Amino acid sequence: MVSLTISNRIKYERLNLYRPRHYICFPIIHKMKKILLLSITVLLTITAFAQNESSDETPVNYKNLSGNIHGTLTMPKNISAKIPVVLIVADSGPTDRNGNNEQTGLNGNMYKLLAEGLAKNGVASVRFDKRMVGESKTANKLEDLRFDDYVDDAVGLIGILNDDQRFSKIVILGHGEGALAAMLAARDQPVKDIISINATSEQGDKLMTEQFKSKPQYLQDEFKTLLDSMKRGKTFDNVDLAMYPLVSTAKQKYLMSYFKYPPLRVIKMMKVPTLIIQGTTDLQVSVADAEKLKKAKSDATLITIKGMNHIMKEAPADKDANMETYANPALPLKAELVPDIVDFIKKN
């Protein structure tokens, strides 16, 4: 899950496009400015055209009991036959349709890039703002939010896609924590393929216990007390400030609902072709997790992508350099990712 806070390590340098010398007269400088502005305008126009020439984007809206879930349908251009559509289910936290999270500083645009890559290969997709994020304004308060709400929203969007006659089949793709929600949503729904990217094999409570092992002993002890309380269905109000961002009282009922689902048991129940993709330089989920998921569902396809990190971009194993990619939307997805996904979709 994307739960790491990204420190602002990226320093921006000013690009000095021209530096007037004392011997350059003003009319020449003015002319140079006009040429420069014209060049930039042409470049931006060409870039925008290149980004849009292969796809069309239209809004998607699903109304649930507490409000509206808003997203984007990305369709390849000049399509005359039915095509597959991929529903992209986002990772943990307040993540928007493009894969960004203001709270952590995540700004990688990975779901937008994924949608564009799929469209270039003749595959449609829907990505959406999670509840209480972006345009998906709902009546939920944080203390009322449950993991099952995310599952329900995915089910609702599956229903909309199933009614759309433009699509030959529905594929559901979950990233990180979203893979668990995607698999749960696929049960008893008209989903033909499941794709899991960089997803943990550990149940939520075990995952968080492991994360707390890097904390001071007193925080580990307090988390164990809190966890015991949540397992009994009771919230724990006296939370240490050092733990508050992860386990505030308002978040505890959500965590209880998330802890109910063991990923290994869930993936074992899946009855449709399943693709497991894991990056080797993911700082949050290991290749061992992917191998455990594969073992639980022996007929699944497992692909490991060398040098791909948690946000699906090329990154080294070095933590600082890896984390810098989280705040750089200009970086492309790992080159192998989209072809691997498209091959799987078209073979099944």
pLDDT by residue (tens digit) across 327-344? 999 999 999 999 999 999
Q: Are 70 and 128 in contact (CB under 8 A)?
A: yes
What pLDDT is recorded for position 38?
41
Predicted structure pTM score: 0.84
| DSSP per-residue string spanning 186-212 | HTTSS--EEEEES---S-HHHHHHHHG
Proportion of the chain above pLDDT 90, given as a percent: 76
SS3 content of the chain, % helix, strand, coil (to 5): 40, 20, 40
DSSP secondary structure code for residue 284 in this structure: S
Q: Which of 32-41, 116-125, 193-202 has the lowest mean pLDDT?
A: 32-41
What does the pLDDT look like over 12-53, one tens digit per residue?
Answer: 333 333 233 232 333 333 444 444 444 433 343 334 444 457
Round to whole Å and give the CA distance between 42 and 20: 24
What pLDDT is recorded for position 137?
83
Mean pLDDT of the chain: 87
* Structure confidence at residue 130 as a pLDDT band (50, 70, 90): very high
The whole-number average pLDDT for the span 157-178 is 98
The whole-number average pLDDT for the span 159-174 is 98
Per the DSSP assignment, residues forming a β-bridge with 314 are 308
CATH number of 56-203+261-347: 3.40.50.1820
The whole-number average pLDDT for the span 118-137 is 96
Could you tell me the maximum CA-CA distance found in the chain, to the nearest angstrom? 79
**Per-residue pLDDT for 101 more than 70?**
yes
* Structure confidence at residue 132 as a pLDDT band (50, 70, 90): very high
What pLDDT is recorded for position 52?
57
Round to whole Å and give the CA distance between 89 and 61: 15
What pLDDT is recorded for position 116?
98
* Structure confidence at residue 138 as a pLDDT band (50, 70, 90): confident
**Per-residue pLDDT for 69 more than 70?**
yes
What pLDDT is recorded for position 207?
92
Domain range annotation of the chain: 19-53, 56-203+261-347
The whole-number average pLDDT for the span 114-133 is 97
Round to whole Å and give the CA distance between 264 and 137: 32
Per the DSSP assignment, residues forming a β-bridge with 128 are 71
**Per-residue pLDDT for 309 more than 80?**
yes
- The more confident residue out of 12 and 206 is 206
What does the pLDDT look like over 257-279, one tens digit per residue?
Answer: 999 999 999 999 999 999 999 99
CA 251 to chain centre: 20
